[in-house]
Amino acid sequence: MDKPHVRRVSRLLHAIGFGFICSATGLAALASPSHAHASEARRTAIVRAAQGARESVVNIHGQKTLTAADDPLVRAEGPRRVNGMGTGIIIDERGFILTNCHVVDGVRKIEVTMADGVSQIAQFVSSDPANDLAVIKVSLKEKLPVITVGTSHDLMIGEEVIALGNAYGYEHTVTRGIISALHRSVQVNDTQSYEDLIQTDASINPGNSGGPLLNIDGEMIAVNVAVRAGAQGIGFAIPIDKAMSVAAKLMSTERVEQKWHGVKLSDMPGRNDGAVVMAIEADSPASKSGLRPGDVVTAVDHQPISRAVDFERALLGQDVGKELDVTVRRNNAAVTTNLELAALPSQQVEPTDDCWELLGLKLQPIPTPQFQQYQSRYRGGLAIAAVRPDGPAAKQGIRRGDILVGMHIWETVTLENVEYILNRSDFADFEPVKFYILRGSDTLYGHLPVAARQ
Q: Which of 209, 245, 284, 289 is catalytic?
A: 209
Q: Are 237 and 172 in contact (CB under 8 A)?
A: no
188-204 burial, b at 16+ Cβ within 10 Å, e below that, comes to bbebbebeebbbbbbbb
Bridge partner residues of 418 (DSSP): none
Q: Which of 14, 61, 102, 261 is catalytic?
A: 102
DSSP state of 68: T
Residue 209 annotated in active site: yes
Could you tell me which of 240, 194, 192 has the C-alpha nearest to residue 215? 240
Q: Is the peptide bond before 351 cis (omega within 30 degrees of 0)?
A: no
114-139 burial, b at 16+ Cβ within 10 Å, e below that, comes to bbeeeeeebeebbbbbbbbbbbbbbe
Between CA 222 and CA 244 the distance in angstroms is 9
Q: Which of 92, 128, 132, 267 is catalytic?
A: 132
Q: Are 17 and 60 in contact (CB under 8 A)?
A: yes
Backbone φ and ψ for 255, nearest 5 degrees, come out as -75, -40
Residue 283 annotated in active site: no
CA 96, 101, 102, 105: dihedral to nearest 10 degrees? 80
Between CA 235 and CA 425 the distance in angstroms is 57
Residue 102 annotated in active site: yes
Active-site residue list: 102, 132, 209
